[in-house]
Amino acid sequence: MAAPTTETATPVDAPVPPRRFDVVRRRLRRSTFGRHALVVLLGLVAVVALLELTSSFRNSQFATMSYYAIAAAGLTVLTGLNGQISLGHGALMAVGAYTTGLLLAEDGGSPLVLVMIIAAAVTALVGVVVGAAAARLHGPYLAGATLALAVAVPGLAIYFDGALGGEQGLQSSSPRPPEWFADAVYFLSTNETTSAKYLAYVGWATLLVVLLLLANLAASRVGRVWRAVRDDEVAAELAGIRLGRVRVLAFTVSAACAGLAGAVLGIVVRLAAPSGFTIVLSLGLLTAVVVGGLGSLPGALLGSALLVFLPPAVTNLGTSAGLDDVQAAQLAPFVYGVVLVLVMLLAPSGAVGLLRRARTFRTAAGPGKSEARRT
């Protein structure tokens, strides 16, 4: 008689162990800093690939874009998140650039990271003073006060010409790439590290750190308070929010970003002169924020890219169309103004807002298309 066979049946409702990828994805969903750090890490990889595959001229353009984007990101916090209009960020960049020039004017032996931190700290102190003075101002009154700052600060450099160089500006020595950095770049790409490439790396590394900090700050309780004050000041004050402190904090953070941008500008251009910090610079930063999208850090990055790459492209098109150099150069700001007007008319939320609406429309139209295909 055959012995009965015993089979081990597995329960149907047995729990399935989660995969490692699912665990990592769940942790990233819960951790705001983790998501932002992952995006910044991917951005760093893209920056390395982009700088190693482009020429020295493009590297210098990317270095220019980096300090525009740093200042525009700070202005996004002030204008987009907190609702304060500033026309004086060019002057705050001048504070950072002149501080960097004073620290690097002698021998350039000071550590670069320390110089940039000092420039940001000095500009943040200026931001505290200006923010405290402008905390009770609103709308055009605040814009007028910051406009006066943009006009006055370059004049101070001319008045104190003995220390700040006057109209000729204050020259500074450009930092050289360390040997370990050049060896690491050569190991990764077998390319030599030029001065323009190193400065682009410094600018973009600073930009990625600033974006990481500002993104986490905007997603925190401080960012929510800023948005509450921007949306309804009366309701925010009734909720116990002190408007003056909130505005001064936003102005200080934005000023620190402008100081970092000025520091990067100082080491890239190697000169801090009053002619480089006119009202045109402040208006250009505000235009970049509006075109990219108010309150959006990716929008600040996109607006800075248009600010740097659109005028040379338009100038080259005008030259190839038969215009002389003067006419082609005058065509660039005209086209940029047309782009600004079109964005304000067709996409008031900026280019990033337009992309978000397009993505939302595709997501909403997706189920309808799938049901139409089934029928």
How confident is the model over 14-37, as a mean pLDDT? 66
In this prediction, residue 370 carries a pLDDT of: 46
Distance CA 170, CA 161 (A): 9
How confident is the model over 114-122, as a mean pLDDT? 94
Contact 204/64 with Cβ under 8 angstroms? no
Query: Cβ–Cβ contacts within 10 Å for residue 135, how many?
Result: 18
Q: Please list, in sequence order, all residues whose beta carbon lies within 8 angstroms of the beta carbon of residue 289, skipping any fewer than 6 positions away.
A: 72, 75, 76, 79, 80, 299, 300, 303
Number of Cα atoms under 13 Å in the Cβ half of residue 272: 38
- Taking each helix axis from N to C end, the angle separating 279-292 and 297-320, rounded to the nearest 10 degrees, works out to 110
Distance CA 258, CA 121 (A): 11
* Local confidence band at 45 (pLDDT 50, 70, 90 cut-offs): very high
Q: Smallest Cα–Cα separation from 229: which of 67, 80, 17?
A: 80
Residue 274, pLDDT above cutoff 60: yes
Contact 314/335 with Cβ under 8 angstroms? yes
Tens digit of each residue's pLDDT (9 = 90 or more) over 236-272: 888 888 888 899 999 999 999 999 999 999 999 988 8
Tens digit of each residue's pLDDT (9 = 90 or more) over 327-341: 777 787 788 778 878
In this prediction, residue 1 carries a pLDDT of: 46
Angle among Cα 40, 42, 43 to the nearest 5 degrees reads: 60
Alpha helices in 54-164 (DSSP H): 56-75, 89-104, 112-133, 139-159, 161-164
Tens digit of each residue's pLDDT (9 = 90 or more) over 197-226: 999 999 999 999 999 999 999 999 999 999
φ/ψ of residue 39, rounded to 5: -65, -40
Q: Which of helix, strand or coil describes residue 271?
A: strand
